[in-house]
Amino acid sequence: MKALSLSLIFSAVVMSSGMAQTQTAAAPKPKTAYTIAQQFNSLKYRSSPYKEFGHDYRVVRESGLEALLKSVQDTLKAREVSIKNAGKETAIKLEKTQQELAAQKARAQALQQDNARKEQQLRQIDHDISHLSVLGLDMDKQLYVVVSIAIILGLGALAAVFAFMYKNSNSVTQEKIRAYEEIDQELKDHKAAAREREVKLKREMQSEANKVEELKQELAELRKRITV
């Protein structure tokens, strides 16, 4: 049985070699032009089938297996080179992407700083709008209005109190002035009356003095007459 199997394998190898020579004489396409699947199918097609112990086998040429192995190795090397190139390209793209991300991050930080500066300016503007400086003190405008109204009302009330006090004081002053004028007028009248009485008394005294002088003269004449 083994001898039969060996003879069948030998015949299959011979037939496959003959078929390979025939196909080589037909000038097939270069192996590199075929895919691995096509080369495998071609190798399978050129192999000799046989069956042993209920199993199917195929006899292939060693050169065909080496060619298939070389194609697989070349394909793997090409894939490896492609992967390396792709890795380099990926690394380059990754570096470029990282640079772009760094630039975008820098722009984002610059925008954040600019936004923060603008927000600070807006807050300062809002603060300037809603606040004012009074005697060096920062005060809310609404509070300033309330305080101003309270001060104005207080000053108004104080002015009303002063006005009322001034009115009362003025009325008292006017009454005192009228009383003083009345007293002064009475004093003037009294002085005038006293002056008139004084003048009248002086006249009466002058009249009495004249009478006394006349009496003295009469008395002197009477004495002269008596002595004569």
Structure tokens at 31: 């192996």
pLDDT of residue 140: 79
Looking at the DSSP bridge assignments, the partners of residue 132 are: 139
161 SS3 class: helix
CB 36 within 8 A of CB 71: yes
Q: Which residues, given as ranges, of the chain have pLDDT below 50?
A: 1-32
Confidence (pTM): 0.35
pLDDT of residue 16: 41
Q: Rounded to whole angstroms, how far apart are CA atoms 166 and 158?
A: 12
pLDDT of residue 156: 92
pLDDT of residue 22: 37
pLDDT of residue 33: 59
Determine phi and psi for 30, rounding to 5 degrees.
-55, 145
pLDDT of residue 23: 39
CB 43 within 8 A of CB 65: yes
pLDDT of residue 145: 84
DSSP 31: G
